[in-house]
Every structure is written in structure tokens, then in C-alpha cells.
Amino acid sequence: MHSTYHKEYSARDLYYILIGATHYLESAGMKLDSNEVNKNPKELEDMISMIAIAFAEHRDGPNTTSGYAKNVQGAKNDNGTYDHGLWQINLNDNIYTYLTSKQASNGVNSNIPMFKGKSKSELKDMMYDPFSNAVAAIAIAQLKAGPVKTQGINNWSTVNMIDTSKAFYIEASKDLDTHLAVLDFEKDMYDRLIQESFNYDFTGISPPVNPDTIDVEKLNQDVEVIMGRSDYSNLNMVDKFVAKNILEPVSEAYLKTKPYFEKAFKNIKDTFTENPFDRQQQFNRDVYDR
């Protein structure tokens, strides 16, 4: 993934950033709606629309795009303000009070923990962190209060440039469709291999030879010697060296690493038991984290 200060982000980059931001907002208690003006990135068409807005905000012509959004400050607006970051967030008074949970007289707060109580200067700096910018963009896309022209994606002047016939939507869709097709192929192959493992034919395969019977009493005595930190007085010189310098350190390492092996085994087990959709979502989050 790109660093905070990387300047160009493709549809694939924006996809993972939006997934992470969506998860954060839902975890914070925001209910995401999907309709004409409110966009929920968990819906594929809404995801494409949100990416198309970013492309349109950084267009290189009236209806052309390089296929990247830029993490930069926009040109000075007619009213003297500036737009910030990937989704060119304008921190006018209404948007600022909405994002920071300072109740405006004609609005409603968004209750986003990471923005709560931030000064306008602090919030502006946060807008150049791609994740924070995406959180703000989705929150704005969910805004339902006030006149229609300030609800949801109507807060972007480029809203009329993102219908399915425009280059910005087409570019976002093309790039994302290609990437998601690869992910679907990988997921289907993984699921098929798991299913095949359940249907493996063991006919004709000889069972393993039974091992010699373990002397449990002798084993317990050896364990007591090691774990009891014995002075090894009952051992000869060679056995004493082995117990003191090999078996004892190994046993300590085992006790220290056992919880990690158990956790790793649980993760492997969960991978086989959770449903494919959950695995895909976890895969997306892991890629985003990286």
C-alpha cells in the first residue's frame, strides 16, 4: 500500500482505503445507507461512485482522467477556500461542525471518534492522511440533514460527472472489475482446493506402522527431572549434560512458544470453518493493513 505522503492512488488503492474506512465507521456505530444521494461502499456500485468522485475531483480534462486521485491541496476556490486530499474535502463551517460533532444550528453531528473535538487546523492536517480523508468522504456521503443540495454526494460539485456514461465511472469500474475478478478467481480456487481435500480417496493407502509402545512412567520421570530443575545427581555425566543444556532449554522454549502455536493453529482452523465471504473480507482488511 501507499504511504501517507504518496500522491497518486488508483481505483484499487482507493477500494482498500474505502473498505477500511467503512469498517471503522460501522464499528463506531454509523449506519450506512445506499440511495441516490447516500453512498455505502459495501455496495459495489456505490464503491465505484465514490472512486469516480475522487477521479473527477482530480480530472485532467472536462471528461478525462489519468486513472488516479491525488493526495494534494486543490486550487483556490472562488470563495477563497481550499479542498483537501483524495476526495478534495472542503471544510466549510457546516462540514467542519458535522465531522467534529460540534452540533450546528441547522445540521446534525456525525459522532466520529477520530474527528471529535478537533480544531479546523487539526482536521485539515488529517485530510492528507488517505484513511482519514476516506472516513470524512464516506461520512459526508451519508449526510442526510439540511437541504437536498447539501445532502450526501451533492456536497461535491462533480456529482454530475460520475454517472455510468462518464469516463470517471467507466475508469473506476474497469480497474476495479479487473482487480476483483482476480480476487474472485483466487478465492474460488482456494475454496475448490479445500473441497477437494474433503473428497480425497484414501483407497489403497496403507496405514502407518504403529510406533513402539511409549513407557509413560519413564517419560513422566524424565519430565519431572527436567521441569523440577533437578540437580541431576542421579544421571551420569553425558545424560546430565544433555538434560541440563539441551532438554531444559528446549522445554522452556516450548512453554514460551506454546500459546503462539495454539493461536496459529486456531487461525488455521478458523480459516477452514469460516464462510468464504468472511475470508474475503478478512483478506481485504489484511491487504489494506499491509
Instruction: Please indicate whether residue 118 or residue 105 has the higher confidence score (pLDDT).
Output: 118
* Pairing relationship of beta strands 69-70 and 8-9 according to DSSP bridges: antiparallel
Give yes or no for residue 124 having a pLDDT over 70. Answer: yes
By the 10 Å C-beta count (0-12 exposed, 13-18 middle, 19+ buried), 12 is classed as middle
As given in the structure block, the three cell numbers for residue 205 are 493407502
Write the pLDDT tens digit of every residue in 34-48: 999 999 999 999 999
Can you give the pLDDT at residue 284? 64
Can you give the pLDDT at residue 19? 92
CA angle 191, 197, 198 (to 5 degrees): 95
Q: Is 148 helix (H, G, I), strand (E, B) or coil?
A: helix
Average pLDDT, the chain: 79
- The dihedral through the CA atoms of 156, 20, 67, 122 has a sign that is positive
Instruction: Please indicate whether residue 2 or residue 184 has the higher confidence score (pLDDT).
Output: 184
Instruction: Tell me which of 86-90, 99-103, 215-219 is least confident.
Output: 215-219
* Long-range contacts of 143-151, Cβ-Cβ distance < 8 Å, separation of 24 or more: 143/38, 143/98, 143/108, 143/110, 144/33, 144/38, 144/108, 145/106, 145/107, 145/108, 146/94, 146/106, 146/107, 148/37, 150/94, 151/37, 151/38
Q: 115 near 100, Cβ under 8 Å?
A: yes
Write the pLDDT tens digit of every residue in 199-239: 656 566 665 566 566 676 776 666 565 555 555 555 565 56
Can you give the pLDDT at residue 174? 87
Phi, psi dihedral angles at 61 (to 5 degrees): -175, 175
pLDDT interval class at 3 (50, 70, 90)? very low
Give yes or no for residue 73 having a pLDDT over 90. Answer: yes
Domain regions of the chain by residue span: 8-173, 212-290
pLDDT interval class at 2 (50, 70, 90)? very low
Residue with cell 484499487: 12
Q: Categorise residue 237: left if φ over 0, alpha if ψ from -120 to 50, beta otherwise.
A: alpha
By the 10 Å C-beta count (0-12 exposed, 13-18 middle, 19+ buried), 275 is classed as exposed
User: Which DSSP category does 61 fall into?
Assistant: B
